[in-house]
Amino acid sequence: MTFSAGEAREGEAAPSLAILCGGGAFPIEVAAEARRAGREPFLIGIVGSTDAAIEDYPHVWLRMGEVGKLFAALKERGVGEMVMIGAMTRPEFADLRLDWGAVKRAADLAQLFRRGDNGLLVGLAAIFEREGVRIVGAHEVAPNLAARAGLLGARPVSPDDRADVAFGARLLEALSVFDGGQASVVAAGRVLAIEAAEGTDGMLARVAELRTSQRLRLKGPAGVLVKAPKRGQDLRLDMPAIGPRTIEGAAAAQLRGVALAAGRVLVLERERCIRTADTAGLFVTGF
C-alpha cells in the first residue's frame, strides 16, 4: 500500500521535501515514512539536539542561529516543503550564534523571541513561507504516523469505555475555547484529571500517584486517557503525540485504555506502543 502510494507520487513531481529535525527518534520515523512514500527527504540537524541517524539521509548540520546557512541549503536543494518536528529546547535570542543570513533578519527574529512558544513557531513558519518554503505537518507527509479511527491494538473497547471517550472528547472540546488542555482522564463519567502545563506524562503520573496512595479509590483498571488537539491548533507546527512512555504512564495509572483523535494525534514508535498496550491489557483506539 505504501509502495503503490509512492509510485503514484512519482508522476506528480511533489516538491522537494526537507525535515527540520529536533531531538528524539521521531524525525527519523517521519523521514523513513516519507522515503517509503517515494519522497527522498533532505534532513536538517541541529548540533546538540538532533540524532546522528539523520546521516542515513541527505542532510546538513547547523548550529542554532545559522539562519543564513539554513536558507542557502534549502535554496540549493530546491526545497518547496518542510516539516518541523521533534523536541527542541527553546534558545534565548541572546544565545543564538547569528550568521549573516540571520543578522539580515535579526529585527524579525528578535521580535519573534518576545512571543510565547506557539507565537515563536507561527512566526518562524511565516518567515519560511515568505522565502517560498511551505511548512507542512508530519501527518501530511507521513499519514501512517497519525492515529487512525478504530482499534490500534488487540484489546477491545466496551460500551462504557466508549461513553467515557465521548465524554472526554466533549470536555476537551469545551476547554478548547480557553486554549486549555489537550488531554484528560475520565472514569465512568467522572473527570479524574485534566492536563494543562504539566503535560500528558505529568497528568498520568498524578493519576498513578492518587491511585497507589489510595486517595483515589477505584477497583481494578478504570478510566480512559482521551487526547486531542485544541480547536484551531496548527497541526503543522504543534501536533499532539503519544509514544511508548505515554502507554506506560497509562498502565501505571491503572487505566483501561487510550483514545486518540484520529488523524490528529501522532503515534511515535507505533509497534512498541501497541505491544506495550497489548501486554498491559490497555486498549488503544482512534475516535
* Interface ranges with a copy of itself (CB under 8 A): 116, 167, 170-171, 174-175, 177-181, 185, 189-198, 202, 206-207, 210, 215-216
Rounded least distance, CB 213 to a copy of itself, Å: 10
238 alpha carbon, distance to own chain's centre:
6
The distance of closest approach from Cβ of residue 192 to a copy of itself in the complex, given in angstroms and rounded to an integer, is 5
> Which one, 150 or 202, has the nearer CB to a copy of itself?
202
For the bound state, the minimum distance from the C-beta of residue 246 to a copy of itself, rounded and expressed in Å, comes to 17
Closest distance between a copy of itself and the C-beta of residue 143, in Å? 31
What is the side-by-side strand order in the sheet with 59-62? 59-62, 42-46, 16-21, 79-85, 134-136
Give the whole-angstrom CA distance, residue 53 versus residue 30: 12
Q: What's the CA angle centered on 196, arms 127 and 248, to 5 degrees?
A: 100
Determine phi and psi for 182, rounding to 5 degrees: -105, 0
Residue type, 283: F
Closest among 163, 220, 231, 168 to 195, alpha carbons compared: 168
What is the C-alpha separation between 260 and 282, in angstroms, rounded?
A: 13
29 vs 195, beta carbon nearer a copy of itself: 195
Q: What is the DSSP letter of 215?
A: S
Residue number with CB closer to a copy of itself (82 or 222): 222
Cβ at position 130, least distance to a copy of itself in Å: 28
Secondary structure (3-state) at 185: strand
Which of residues 97 and 170 has its CB atom nearest to a copy of itself in the complex? 170
What CA–CA distance (Å, rounded) separates 80 from 129? 9
Q: Which residues contact 34 (CB under 8 A, 6 or more apart)?
A: 17, 19, 40, 41, 141, 142
Shortest distance (Å) from residue 255 CB to a copy of itself: 13
* C-alpha to C-alpha distance for 276 and 244, rounded to whole angstroms: 7
CB nearer to a copy of itself: give 142 or 207.
207
Q: Between 181 and 249, name the residue whose CB sits nearer to a copy of itself.
A: 181
Report phi then psi at 98, rounded to 5: -75, 130
Which residue number, 156 or 189, has a Cβ lying nearer to a copy of itself? Answer: 189
**In the complex, least distance from residue 121 CB atom to a copy of itself, rounded to whole angstroms:** 16
Q: Strand pairing partners for 266?
A: 146, 241
